[in-house]
């Protein structure tokens, strides 16, 4: 099979020739520049490292390296509006939502330092300069890129937006402040989320008008869980977040036949059935170190209705384990998630700065060696 056939077969819950691999197609499967430099050194490759995400300090792997890794997916990310990110200094920037990011000395990425709507009132929401989701600058050149990938390569094509609703509200308001809003100012909280949802729907439609027919997978994200459980109560999720995610998915489905890929970090077990109900086809990143995220259980309970994309531990194994530990991790996740299809192997979120190139290589090589169907993986 070629890569596109491999991905589509797996997402159809059938067994392809081998388990597909994703490294670097989108934000949650990307690789930090330091880890990528280590991978290049491990492979004995000298090349200029391109940076595609300034905040996360994420590298754009070269086509040569992606081919060596066996990566089956190529990504197309929506761009920013014309008057987008403002670089304030070498260590500070302001994004199109007005969120200030700062990179302290020695840090491997930027973090939020100022929340623009921290002290906002309902009246302030009316006047706030939210970004334009319909700005055509967001998709300059993307239709040509998607057409080229479709016609000149055999890779699966993934389109990506942020899609954050709950998370974006926290990012503009402050994590703690918005949690208080949900309990104490529900009208304000809902008005803010409605404005965010409208923008994300416009961004999705703008991107999909340009590249929708070319896509195999469409990815968006919203962290609705943390390490130990839901970030808000399940009832609140089902009342306030789930209907808005459903509206965004409805916009996406009107514009493309691509599979719907939803990313949420953390212990998202409580919401998996809800996500299936509103049309999610793929769950990412399958944060295996979080509570209730046992991969065998997830496959057993939900594997007929949703595919899994990720699951190779970035919290403990990839940064701190040996290549042999990585091999054992990959084999375990293959045993749990790959039978019958429905699994794309990837890291749990970004391959971070402290991951050595030998471990990245071990992940890819083990996936190719032991991910061949019919699976024969000893414990």
| pLDDT recorded at residue 92 | 98
Closest CA to 179 of 233, 116, 122, 229: 233
| pLDDT recorded at residue 83 | 86
| pLDDT recorded at residue 290 | 98
Q: What domains can you pick out in the chain, each with its CATH number?
A: 3-81+116-370 (3.20.20.210)
| pLDDT recorded at residue 174 | 98
Cβ-proximal residues to 369 (8 Å cutoff; 6+ apart), any chain: none
Token couple for 228: 């130990």
Closest CA to 284 of 355, 224, 360: 224
| pLDDT recorded at residue 378 | 78
| pLDDT recorded at residue 320 | 98
Cβ-proximal residues to 185 (8 Å cutoff; 6+ apart), any chain: none
Residue 87: count other Cβ atoms within 10 Å of its Cβ. 10
Token couple for 9: 């077969």
Pairing verdict, β 92-94 and 86-89: antiparallel
pTM here? 0.97
| pLDDT recorded at residue 114 | 98
All residue ranges of the chain with pLDDT < 50 are none
3-state secondary structure of 219: strand
Q: 23: which DSSP letter?
A: S
| pLDDT recorded at residue 377 | 86
Token couple for 97: 């939502």
Closest CA to 207 of 130, 309, 155, 137: 137
DSSP calls for 156-198:
EEEEE----SHHHHHHHH-HHHHHHHHHH-HHHHHHHHHHHHH
């Amino acid at each position: 099979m070629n890569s596109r056939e491999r991905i589509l077969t797996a997402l159809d819950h059938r067994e392809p020739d081998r388990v597909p691999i994703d490294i670097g197609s989108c934000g949650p499967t990307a690789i930090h520049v330091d880890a990528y430099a280590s991978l290049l050194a491990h492979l004995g490759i000298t090349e200029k490292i391109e940076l595609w995400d300034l905040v996360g300090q994420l590298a754009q792997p070269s086509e040569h390296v992606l081919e060596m890794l066996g990566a089956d997916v190529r990504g197309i990310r929506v761009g920013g509006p014309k008057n987008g990110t403002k670089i304030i200094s070498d260590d500070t920037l302001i994004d199109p939502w007005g969120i200030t990011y700062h990179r302290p000395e020695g840090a491997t990425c930027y973090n939020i330092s100022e929340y623009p709507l921290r002290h906002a009132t309902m009246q302030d929401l009316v006047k706030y300069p939210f970004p334009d989701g319909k700005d055509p600058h967001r998709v300059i050149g993307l239709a040509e890129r998607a057409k080229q990938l479709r016609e000149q390569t055999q890779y699966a094509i993934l389109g990506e937006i942020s899609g954050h609703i709950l998370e974006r509200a926290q990012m503009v308001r402050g994590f703690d402040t918005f949690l208080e809003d949900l309990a104490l100012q529900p009208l304000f909280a809902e008005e803010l989320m409605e404005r965010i949802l409208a923008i994300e729907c416009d961004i999705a439609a703008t991107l999909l008008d340009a590249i929708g027919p070319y896509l195999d997978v469409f990815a968006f994200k919203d962290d609705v869980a943390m390490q130990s459980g839901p970030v808000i109560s399940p009832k609140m999720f089902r009342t306030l977040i789930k209907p808005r995610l459903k509206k965004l998915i409805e916009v996406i489905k009107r514009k493309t036949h691509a599979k719907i890929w939803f990313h949420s970090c953390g212990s998202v077990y409580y919401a998996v059935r809800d996500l299936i109900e509103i049309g999610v086809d793929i769950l990412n990143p399958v944060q295996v170190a979080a509570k209730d995220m046992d991969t065998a259980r997830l496959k057993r309970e939900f594997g007929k209705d949703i595919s899994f994309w990720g699951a190779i531990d970035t919290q403990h194994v990839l940064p701190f384990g040996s290549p042999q530990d990585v091999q054992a991790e990959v084999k375990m996740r293959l045993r749990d998630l790959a039978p019958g299809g429905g699994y794309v192997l990837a890291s749990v979120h970004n391959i971070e700065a402290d991951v050595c190139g030998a471990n990245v290589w071990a992940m890819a090589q083990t996936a190719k060696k032991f991910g061949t169907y019919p699976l024969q993986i000893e414990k």
